[in-house]
Chains A and B, each alone.
Chain A
Amino acid sequence: MQPVAGQARRLWRRGLVLLSCWLCAGSAFAGTAPQRVVSMNLCTDQLLVLLADPEKILSVSYLSAEQHSSYVADTVLGRGYPLNHNLPEEIIPLKPDLVVTGMYLHQSETRLMREAGLRVETFPVFNRLADVKSNIRKMAQLLGESTRGEELIAAMDARQAALTQALPESGPRAVAYHARGYTQGRNTLLDELMTLAGFHNIARDFDIEGYGSIGLEALAGARADVMISSEYAPGTRSAGQYFLQHPVLKRLFPEQKQRIELQTRNLICGGPMNLDALQTLIEYRHALAD
């Protein structure tokens, strides 16, 4: 009895799924761009807010309203978008015709929503500015706003070119050093920005690919001129953050100008704000050269 009933239920459910897929496919084939979009991830939130018409956004994730994490926090709060917490039960009732999210973060939620017949588009993680631009392009195409996307990319390219011209010679040795001694090596956005700004990233000498950590002793021997950090949540306390007050770091980087503080919201996701971080780095280069 039990298996037969289960099978029938499964068939019924699959029928529903197929029906709803057919319905949404129908609307997509009608050639209209999505009119009701939900984003579940801080990074897709920001691209969405930058590229979509305001009235087409149904909901963004709660992180996008946090000042330290989100470049568009003011816009999100100002427009009063409902904030979601990446829960399918919050999102499915909104009946969005497009859900955007990261590729790796919410896999089970993504699967659930697809089974419920929603169109879910996922975005790959970015490691370089080129990835950031391809994500912008992807988002713009999904929204039917390709021109807006290309304009944004062109503006980023122009700003990057303007920032990186006439850099002082001989780059200082720098290390990205965050709470708990975490650092970024090759193939990370910060490494690319540091390189563009003419810094030599110490983490490369340690053969660090992606994210890694450098111990205090190793750092002491590595002779960095500058320490770059970005505090994710200023004003809060943890052993990891307390670690950055270690006397050795004070001795290695005694002067104020040896410490560069980057805003986390300019680094945590890909977008035009990455160039704000680049600008901060380059301003320090000029200040160091003076």
Chain B
Amino acid sequence: MLWQTDTRAQRRLLIIGALIVAVLFLISLFMRSGTLALAQIALQGDAGLRALIFEQIRLPRALIALFVGATLGICGAAMQSLLRNPLATPGLVGSSSGAALGAVLLFYLGNGTVSWLAMPLAGTFGSLLAMAFVYALAGRDSSITTLILAGVAVNAVATSMLSLILNLAPSPYAVQEVVLWLLGSVANKSLNDFYLMLVPMTLGWLLLRGCGRSLNALTLGEDTAHTMGVNINRLRWRIFLAISLAIGAAVSTTGMIGFVGLVVPHLLRPLVGYEPARLLPLSALGGAAMLLAADIVVRLFPASVDIKIGVITSIVGAPFFLWLIIRTRRAHL
């Protein structure tokens, strides 16, 4: 094999990553909310109420941040490895905006109480559709530039459709919820929301499992990978489907949270010797850590200031993105 996987180093990295995630998860569960002086006093000595807050507010919030962060991280890594492009993200090829569009269509225009159960599925469907559309638009053997341009076009259509639907939705609250879908939020979710999200998300993760080796081969170029027995076309569709399932579930629960999928794989890639098979699981941990940390920062603001989590990830992510562009430009010169 070309790649001599250093299993001990990888295990050490994964353990450190898992420890960081665990610490952040615990902080998220038990942190004091800044402005809750009154509630804190009232809570003293009421175990039932504490349990209620813990189970129905803190736990879903931390779990959703953990799982959505992991999904964004691993999908970003898979996308960058598949397209062999450092700027690729699940969002770039339309999957995030497609997922949000699917979920919004069902949620705001659907009627009846059953349909919100199907939200992750609608997200998945929208995500897959948008991604397939980008792929078809760019053509099978397209250059990366064409793919990116096709992604930009599909993203623009999907996000403007999303705004349009929220404008047309019968509910007067819908218009103001554009922010929620474009920036994302993990606040005020229930355990039910988490369970609903979990099913398609796990399916997506399982599909990504075992892609690592093929992705490793792909780093040597498509022809070489082909001679090594990798069916590129099948690999592509498998990853697209996996990302659609996982991102569809994530975005339909939290909205589009930007930059996690872009930044995390870049931060971690040097640590794993640029090897996709090792990058994927580590990016999951990195994404989870980043989103948990962002959610902790969100809650440091007073409760009356409703900062969306995507604002924090973008404030960290955008400068990084700039730096990345500058660095790649230097490398090409």
In the complex, the answer to whether B177 meets A239 with C-beta atoms within 8 Å is yes
A223 within 8 A of B: yes
CB-CB < 8 A to A179: which residues of B? 173
**Residues B171 and A247 in contact, CB atoms below 8 Å apart:** no
Between-chain CB contacts (< 8 Å), 21 pairs:
A179-B173, A181-B188, A212-B304, A215-B33, A215-B36, A218-B36, A220-B43, A220-B53, A221-B41, A233-B172, A236-B171, A236-B174, A237-B110, A239-B177, A241-B171, A241-B173, A246-B190, A247-B190, A248-B53, A248-B190, A251-B52
Which A residue sits closest to B306, measured CB to CB?
A213
Q: How far is the CA of A223 from the CA of B57 in the complex (A)?
A: 17
Please report which residues of chain B, range 38-84, place their CB below 8 angstroms from some CB of chain A when the two chains form the complex.
38-43, 49, 52-53, 56-57
Task: Give chain B's interface residues, CB within 8 Å of chain A.
Answer: 33, 35-36, 38-43, 49, 52-53, 56-57, 107-108, 110-111, 116, 169-174, 176-177, 180, 188, 190-192, 303-304, 306
- Which of B38, B188, B304, B306: most chain A Cβ within 10 A? B188
Q: Is B172 touching A236 in the complex (CB atoms < 8 A)? A: yes
How many Å lie between the Cα of A179 and that of B172 in the bound state?
Answer: 11
Smallest CB separation, B118 vs chain A (Å): 13
Q: How large is the interface on A (under 10, 10 to 19, 20 to 34, 35 or more residues)?
A: 20 to 34
Q: Is the CB of B171 within 8 A of A238?
A: yes
Q: Is the interface of B mostly helix, strand, loop or mixed?
A: helix
Q: A221-B42, A221-B43 are in contact. Are A233 and B171 (CB under 8 A)?
A: yes
Chain A residues within 8 Å of B40, by CB: 221
Residues from chain A with Cβ under 8 Å of B52 in the complex: 220, 248, 251-252
Is A218's CB under 8 angstroms from B303's CB? yes
- Residues of B within 8 Å of A216, CB to CB, are 53, 57, 188
Chain A residues within an 8 Å CB radius of B108? 237-238
- CA of A248 to CA of B61, assembled, Å: 13
A222 in contact with B39 given A236-B172, A238-B171, A238-B174 (CB within 8 Å): yes
A140 CB, nearest partner CB in chain B, Å: 31
